[in-house]
Amino acid sequence: MKNIIIILILSVSIFNNAFAGGPWPQPKGKGYFKLSEWWTVFDQHYTDAGLIDPNVTTGIFNTAFYGEYGVTDRLTTILNANLLSRNYMNNLKSMTTQEIIVAGEAIITFGDVDLGIKYGLTKPGKLPVSVSLILGIPSGKVNGGTLGNLATGDGEFNQILQVDTGFGFKIGKHISSYVSGYAAINNRTKEFSEEFRYGIEAGIGLLKNKVWITSKLNVVESFKNGATAENVTSTSIFANNTEFASIAFEANIYVTKNIGVSLGTAGAMRGEIIAAAPSYSVGVFYDMAK
């Protein structure tokens, strides 16, 4: 049962840890701020062999704040904080007698926090290239619930070094678009496997840029150098050697010049030790740079 909860935490990092902005730092004194609700509920998961197995219905709901602020025209600070996280599981019942084997439970606590900086390596007018350092703070709860099988964080401190590049262009005379890509190394503690991450994002602005439609492909490849079941008894070993490819879609709609709403969904096309179900998000944002 505990490994299913670890799978849930992995799905959070997959679908809820995407940073906005691409290779473009925020202008000095400007920022982007977003309050959102993200959730996923699943009753099956990818195994370590990439197959799909059933599990007791499990879910997590995160209320999160994301912010970027330009300290200079080339240096941007980043905060991604899960302010409130609810993790639950339904009753586990016998398939033959319908007897409750493990009673369902839920916890509500603070989640993990990411702190970071982004620095633009190129000057305005050049092909934008930026480098980011993201620190994952293990502020969420692990081993929650009566049986210690509920969590709102993975309990490890990680460091992500990421490089982004991309460019904007016009489709015709009036439609704005962009394409960006990234590559990153995720160094993890507590005997979690290190990871190589990469992805690509594309967006198009409609109705005079009042509506932006974006799609993202995110891939994680594990170095498979974490702890194994043979030498570690902690359930954290189930979070090691995770790999996946996921695709996400989001619509950002400006209600006023600076304020808007967002709607998004994401899911894994392939994976190992992650939820086999989509996630969803809704949010409101304030864009000072508009």
Residue bearing tokens 């639950």: 88
Per-residue pLDDT at 228 exceeds 90: no
pLDDT in tens, 125-163: 789 999 999 999 999 888 888 877 788 888 889 999 999
Smallest CA-to-CA distance from 55 within 102, 111, 106, 108 is with 102
Alpha carbon 43 to chain centroid distance? 20
Quickly list DSSP for 47-102: -TTS-EEEEEEEEEEEEEEEEEEESSSSEEEEEEEEEEEEEEEPPEE-TTT--EEE
Q: Global pTM?
A: 0.89
Asked if 40 contacts 277 with a C-beta cutoff of 8 angstroms, the reply is: yes
Cα–Cα distance measured from residue 52 to residue 185, given in angstroms and rounded to the nearest whole number: 28
- What's the CA angle centered on 145, arms 142 and 150, to 5 degrees? 45
Smallest CA-to-CA distance from 41 within 283, 251, 267 is with 267
With cut-offs at 50, 70 and 90, classify the pLDDT of residue 236: very low
Asked if 242 contacts 219 with a C-beta cutoff of 8 angstroms, the reply is: no
Per-residue pLDDT at 288 exceeds 80: yes
Smallest CA-to-CA distance from 84 within 65, 103, 100, 58 is with 65
Strand, helix or coil for residue 106? strand
Cα–Cα distance measured from residue 189 to residue 164, given in angstroms and rounded to the nearest whole number: 24
pLDDT in tens, 75-88: 999 999 999 999 99
With cut-offs at 50, 70 and 90, classify the pLDDT of residue 166: very high
Maximum pairwise Cα distance, the chain: 69
CATH topology of domain 2-287: Porin (2.40.160)
The CB density around residue 237, as the number of other CB atoms within 10 Å, is 20
The residues spanned by each domain of the chain are: 2-287
Cα–Cα distance measured from residue 3 to residue 23, given in angstroms and rounded to the nearest whole number: 36
Per-residue pLDDT at 197 exceeds 90: yes
